Amino acid sequence: MKYTPIVGTLGYVLSPNGDEVLMVLRNARAHDDQFGKYNGLGGKMRRDEDAATCMIREIREEAGIEVASMRLRGTVNWTNFGPKGEDWLGFVFLIDGFSGRPRESSAEGPLSWAPLAGLSSLPMWEGDRHFLPLVFDNDPRPFHGFMPYDRERTLAWSFVRM
């Protein structure tokens, strides 16, 4: 079977003191597949972009800030994800330097700084709780994960670091 995922980026912007992360509460559009969930910033890659350019563009569009420093923390292959059962391949970045002041909201919903220590208590996709610790840990190696879904439910999680 041919694999043709939607390719996108997902970024987590650290506050200047490193204690908080900028999150979006997806509540601006009732038809949003992620309605009511907190998420990092990002979106679909355009055919004329590489992953880094896509991430920089998405952060600019959604938060109104300019990326000064970021690191690829990993990739995740989500299959049969969400209400539409889509396949996604995501490049996950940690943005640890930026200029400007983040907007208060985006087209998806309000933006807010969430304490890094309390991220897992926010309403989010079940699977995010598996890979988020890898985004923020001190291991310099990127992770590469596979997370099959049954639409709304995570079925498994595996990853390697190289």
Q: What is the CATH number of the domain that holds 143?
A: 3.90.79.10
In this structure, is residue 51 part of a structural domain?
Answer: yes
Whole-angstrom Cα distance, residue 159 to residue 44? 22
**pLDDT tens column, 73-119:** 999 999 999 888 999 999 999 999 999 999 999 999 999 999 999 99
Number of domains in the chain: 1
> 15: which 2 tokens?
């506050």
In this structure, is residue 69 part of a structural domain?
Answer: yes
Whole-angstrom Cα distance, residue 142 to residue 129? 17
Can you say how many angstroms the Cα of residue 39 is from the centroid of all Cα atoms in its chain?
Answer: 6
Round the average pLDDT of the chain to a whole number and report it.
95
In this structure, is residue 1 part of a structural domain?
Answer: no
- Range(s) of the domain holding residue 93: 6-161
Tell me the whole-structure pTM to 2 decimals. Answer: 0.95
User: In terms of Cα–Cα distance, which of 49, 73, 47, 76 is closest to 60?
Assistant: 49
